[in-house]
Structure 1
């Protein structure tokens, strides 16, 4: 005899059922005792799975005009009934048992599939994040130079409103001369600008627009020191580092806006250029290629190292580092690496191939521009 605790449902009983203790033998299902006994022959019984998770078992039968059901919730009792049912119920019990196993297998497969899809989605996201820079580089490589220059001109047009440009004078001419020497043979049409700003900063805009702050020119002891920073910025343009960084941040929207002339979108992103952070590989490439560019143009390559060292030692305004250093960190390790790159090469003082620049005149011109007007 099997003992089956459960809840009984049927006509005249509460909607939530009543707890009962049922017994099953070889002939019948008996519920209750004494005068309150209810029974049903095994041939009248039907078995089926029940409950939210289909782990419970319902034993039902018809009595008169009503239908009664015993819901067995205890897992051990359910398992015992399905595996040890009397002969007349064994077929139904085995069918329910097989269905439970199949459903359990399907459930495990479904759960595994969900876990697999989630894992694949996470892996895809991680791969996308890891490949964001290479993808941006690949996209940037297919952008025609003319579109890159249009983008740069649109960005500069928006930034120009916040710049006090020195369009003439010894400083601007010096930057122009140095820049033209460094970029001979380039596919870009470079533009060189000096901005009246005491901060030690310079930046390059995609397409070949380079802006140098007057404070950086004043900090340079000679033309070769300034040429070191300009060579670094030129390499950011030549290697399309700024364009790649913008593509990585904005996707194709900014480039498409350039093609169709949507200057509003370009203006929204114009301010992003000053906050672009290049990867260590991009900075290393700009350093090393810039050093080679200096040598090829006939400049004293030690000038780059001297100005980098000045920037690294400068406290800037208050606790903030100089503007150029904050986005192009000139750490001692980078300086040491560049110095090592120069080892074994002959000294390269400014040669006849480099432009002859009266640097004291450049400094005097900037000093005069900083003096307040007496008019």
Structure 2
């Protein structure tokens, strides 16, 4: 007989370095975890989840799709980072509950795994050449075979050649040191405007990056028409896109090779799985964005395990944001994220597969955080994209 799994309690924990964790408890005592957060807007998303909680109380946690549809469509205004991130964390927690209730990992409920391990990469600093080699060696020692770094620091709309040459030098250092034993993704981070992208590509092409991420801001995706035909380097984007409707015109335009929806921003497991399937029909690959905590990462991996077009997974273990508390500090079974030759093995535990250390979580919640990204300005005082 199917358990009712009625939602009884919703709790939120704002914890350092910059995360928000959600705990949903059912009347039957099954706990599900989610990570609904926008970096720099944790309090705003927290308020949004609480508003949505008024609808969730007393509902059956079994009805994941119906809850998703109501939360997305029932408030009249739809989409955007705050609403979709709140839905994302709730969706993650509901899948965690269902998997635990049935005693299977979430990927089994999504159709079963298509792979037994997932390739991983981690971020290193690319803003400053002094740290590039040091951080790359640190990640290689941890077991990574791939890294991603920022291609640039702050950049003017039309930058000097001195700044352009600095960008190329960073990846040159890595290529000379590691050869092709290390895959290197370059994140333009939306810092570069259309007028500079092709010039930067000219400088970077000899060092053969794995991909170029967010060569322009997602609101300027039409500019990818000019960039895509200019280079053979795969183009990646999508971390600031929040639903299948955001991805639809990009996929139809045919100017992207790798999509990067974030499991804590793009509607959770339910929606990112749909986005992945849409992308597969356009022969586009999936590499979920994930600079966040263990629940977001576990959710991304559950989608990766079941998506044939998933190629690599970002994670934030040990990155510079994680001061005082790191991703694994909140996890009772950190071994699930252990790397073997650059890969994480298929999870075996039910639900999302991570067990949260609630004592550490409560310790972190007492500290809390008010993280926000820096504001950058150029030499003339004009705003620069971070």
TM-score (structure 2 length as normaliser)? 0.21
Higher normalized helix content (fraction of residues): 1
Ranked by relative contact order (alpha carbons within 8 Å, sequence separation 6 or more), the top structure is 2
